[in-house]
Amino acid sequence: MYAPKFAITNRILKSVGEIEAAKEVIENAPLVPYYEKQFRTDAIARTVHHGTHIEGNDLSLLETKKILEGIEVVAHERDIQEVINYRNVTKLLDELAVKRGGYDSDMLLDIHRETVNKIVAPEKVGVFRQTQVVIKEENTGRIILAPPQATEVPAYIDNFLEWLNSAEARELHPILRAGIAHYILVSIHPFVEGNGRTVRAFANLILNREGYDIKRFFSLEEHFDNDLASYYEAFAGVDNQSSNV
């Protein structure tokens, strides 16, 4: 069974404690239902906008909100479809969050199916990649990530999910489990396209299922998008053989 190597540092403990304190305040704040609904609607729009913007979508937050409201927007068809797709992903996460049982590959494949619907060739939608991929630095062309061979992807996913569903993993704080899942799935890069959005959504699913959606008032995608350099540096700073996962 896969076993991630990591160390729980004082900095991590402090961050988890701060999240717990904020969660307690927000979940017990006496808010009028109307405002709660507005906060969630706004968070969905920010999640969809920033979740697609990270991957190069050119639509503004205002344009994203218009699309979600059914208002016509003049833009590239692909950009519009990406927004529609990611909104559907958030709906799917709502369904999967209340599903009984552990995590399985169908969840990951279903998220991918919604993410790349009408964007990639049908035979590549909701299936693990059949070709080798590498991630290169944009400016230099230097390879910064060489994921497993395509033939190894199903086994890597199975091993990861076995760990995620294990008693050992369940002893970890959900925030740590979501973070580890985020990193490992990015490393595996299981799909030809749509990996980033699919992986971030799966990490959100872990938080949602385990009580850390925090009323769904916030958007992790917005947090990542606002400091992409740090987001990518965090991945680059992790080594599979170190204690930094």
> Catalytic residues, which ones?
189
Q: 3-state DSSP call for residue 47?
A: helix
Residue environment code for 137-165, b if the CB has 16+ CB neighbours within 10 A, otherwise e: eeeeeeeeeebbebeebeebbeebbebbe
Tokens of 141: 């062309």
Handedness of CA 213, 214, 217, 218 (dihedral sign): negative
Residue type, position 117, single letter: N
Cα gap 226→242, rounded to integer Å: 28
Question: End-to-end CA distance of the chain, in Å?
Answer: 16
